[in-house]
Amino acid sequence: MEPPDKHAGLTGFVRPQDLFWVVLFGALAMFGPHRTPPMIIYLCVLGLFQVMEPKVLAVKHGNVIAFAFKLLVVYQLMGWTDGIASSYFWMLLLPVATAATTMSLMRSVIATALSCLAYVSFLYRIPADKELDPDEINELMMRVLLLPVVGYLTHQLAESSRTAAVKYQAAAEQLAEANEHLQEAEAAVRRTDRLAALGQLSAGLAHELRNPLGTMKASAEMLAKSVGPGNEVAREMADFISTEVDRTNSLVTRFLDFARPMALRLEPTDVTQVIDRAIQQIERQQPPFDVSIYKNYSPEVPAFLLDGELMERVIYNLLLNAAQASPPQGTITVKTRQIDGTVEIAVIDLGSGIDTKHIDNIFNPFVTTKRGGVGLGLAIVSKIVDEHGGRITVESEPGHGSVFRVYLPMKEQ
């Protein structure tokens, strides 16, 4: 572990412009006109306030406090040093700059006007019998006009800086969002490549198994017919072979379902009817599940193009997983809603949930958390949803249930 940088904390606390302020006000205190003790104290206070200004601006109405304090101190300095002809006139730019950089345009104009009035007020200190010559009047006008010009230009510069900062922030957020979408797209491409490779392997393996399975099935049936009534052991073994062949053949069929390309039959379909048929399959399951299924359908979802038969398989698989993960007398909720041209179907359960380490791979084939499961159910679900141009997501917390969301684009006929 590297030792901490000694200069890092100093840089974060002392800004480069703070050193400028220290040098400037130190030079004024040492070489400025009228170097009396009160003047030196006022200059030191103003310099310290200038350094501490960011903390003052952080409080409520801090910009007003900073402007008022600077204007008051500078007004006192000018009052002690020749008033209207004071060498410290330029320091009126400090409150004007504070207002221009921290206030709205209207408030900045008001603050600049107050600074001009404060300067012009020193005219009352000129003796009545003394008249200003034309050069002095011209100098006075130039000084008065200098404050609003500097205030306006400073406000425009600060506004441009704030606008640029907002644009940069928006660009950074868009870049972060695009990067997130890119990562999701890359993950989808990798998953598609894995699915394609596994699909080809599954198809070849399934076709190679079909023929010997058919032979084994026929042989078991012939054996059961040829065994005499007294040979119960042989008959039981023949039935056992036939049952296992049927189970294996069913597994091969699922492999082929996963491997073969899907030809969607898109028709205008009411998705609520598709969900209802899937729910009826779950309710007819034997042995029945001890769960209650609640429907929360949005009436705003119209009929749209989809393959009702394949989508029924998607909903059925999601409901089956939810029912198997739910405790006795558990509840499952199916919700639909429309979001910007997309239909969302959510299947929510309060069951055992999914371990965090399996979340990223839950839609990959042969990944399962069930005892005796094959791990093709969610892979086939993901493939069907992808074929529809949609996407599926999962949110889960172990011990608190899962939420599977299917997003389908509402394609027009």
**Whether pLDDT at 1 is above 70:** no
| pLDDT score, position 392 | 92
Looking at the 3D structure of the chain, how many domains does it have?
Answer: 3
Domain match, 400 and 318 both = yes
Structural domain contains residue 163: no
- The C-alpha atoms of residue 112 and residue 148 are separated, in whole angstroms, by 6
| pLDDT score, position 372 | 54
Domain match, 115 and 41 both = yes
- Binning pLDDT at 50, 70 and 90, where does residue 10 land? very low
Structural domain contains residue 175: no
Structural domain contains residue 110: yes
Query: In this predicted structure, which of 36-50, 96-110, 247-261 has the lowest mean pLDDT?
Result: 247-261
Domain match, 252 and 286 both = no
CATH number, residue 304: 3.30.565.10
Per-chain mean pLDDT for the chain: 83
> 259, 290, 321 — which closes off a domain?
259
Interval 26-33 mean pLDDT: 79
Give whichever of 18-22, 27-31, 186-190, 325-329 has the largest mean pLDDT. Answer: 325-329
**Whether pLDDT at 273 is above 90:** yes
| pLDDT score, position 18 | 79
Structural domain contains residue 36: yes
Which residue(s) pair with 395 in the sheet?
A: 403
Angle (CA) 43-46-49 rounded to 5° is: 150
Which residue(s) pair with 403 in the sheet?
A: 348, 395
Tokens of 163: 């606008």
Structural domain contains residue 169: no
Measured between alpha carbons, how far is residue 205 from residues 202, 209, 244, 250, 371 in Å? 5, 6, 18, 14, 23
- The C-alpha atoms of residue 374 and residue 381 are separated, in whole angstroms, by 14
Q: Each residue of 90-114: pLDDT tens digit? A: 888 999 998 999 998 899 999 999 9
| pLDDT score, position 61 | 87
Share of the chain above pLDDT 70, in %: 87
Domain match, 218 and 316 both = no
Structural domain contains residue 191: yes
Domain match, 244 and 312 both = no
| pLDDT score, position 259 | 62
**Whether pLDDT at 24 is above 60:** yes
Query: In this predicted structure, which of 50-64, 171-185, 250-264 has the lowest mean pLDDT?
Result: 250-264
Domain match, 294 and 213 both = no
How many other C-beta atoms can be found within 10 angstroms of the C-beta atom of residue 40? 16
Structural domain contains residue 154: no
* More confident site: 32 or 380: 380
**Whether pLDDT at 88 is above 60:** yes
Q: List the one residue out of 91, 88, 144 whose CA is nearest residue 120.
A: 144
- Domain containing 289 equals 267-409
Q: List the one residue out of 313, 342, 348 whose CA is nearest residue 409.
A: 342
Measured between alpha carbons, how far is residue 393 from residues 154, 341, 401 in Å? 51, 18, 14
Domain match, 95 and 28 both = yes
Interval 381-405 mean pLDDT: 90
| pLDDT score, position 404 | 95
Cβ(94)–Cβ(50) under 8 Å? yes
| pLDDT score, position 312 | 92
Tell me which residue has tokens 């499961």: 373
No. of helices (H) and no. of strands (E), the chain: 12, 7
Structural domain contains residue 377: yes
Please tell me whether residue 136 adopts helix, strand or coil conformation. helix
Q: List the one residue out of 373, 376, 366 whose CA is nearest residue 324.
A: 373
> 225, 259, 293 — which closes off a domain?
259
Q: Each residue of 345-365: pLDDT tens digit? A: 999 999 988 888 878 778 876
- Binning pLDDT at 50, 70 and 90, where does residue 375 land? low
Domain match, 342 and 395 both = yes
Domain match, 221 and 288 both = no
Domain match, 247 and 274 both = no
Q: 246: Cβ–Cβ under 8 A, 6 or more apart, which residues? A: 217
- The C-alpha atoms of residue 336 and residue 343 are separated, in whole angstroms, by 7
CATH number, residue 188: 1.10.287.130
Query: In this predicted structure, which of 109-123, 252-266, 280-294, 376-390 has the lowest mean pLDDT?
Result: 252-266
**Whether pLDDT at 389 is above 50:** yes
The radius of gyration of the chain from alpha carbons, rounded to an integer in Å, stands at 40
| pLDDT score, position 8 | 44
Phi (first) and psi of residue 389, to 5 degrees: 80, 15
Cβ(376)–Cβ(313) under 8 Å? no
Domain match, 96 and 43 both = yes
> 212, 230, 259 — which closes off a domain?
259
- The C-alpha atoms of residue 151 and residue 94 are separated, in whole angstroms, by 10
Q: Write down the pTM of the prediction.
A: 0.48
Domain match, 23 and 68 both = yes
Q: Each residue of 292-335: pLDDT tens digit? A: 999 999 998 999 999 998 899 899 999 999 999 999 999 999 99
| pLDDT score, position 129 | 67
Q: Each residue of 203-230: pLDDT tens digit? A: 676 667 777 877 887 887 887 778 777 7
- The C-alpha atoms of residue 291 and residue 319 are separated, in whole angstroms, by 11
Give whichever of 20-24, 38-42, 300-304, 403-407 has the largest mean pLDDT. Answer: 403-407
Tokens of 338: 């429309």
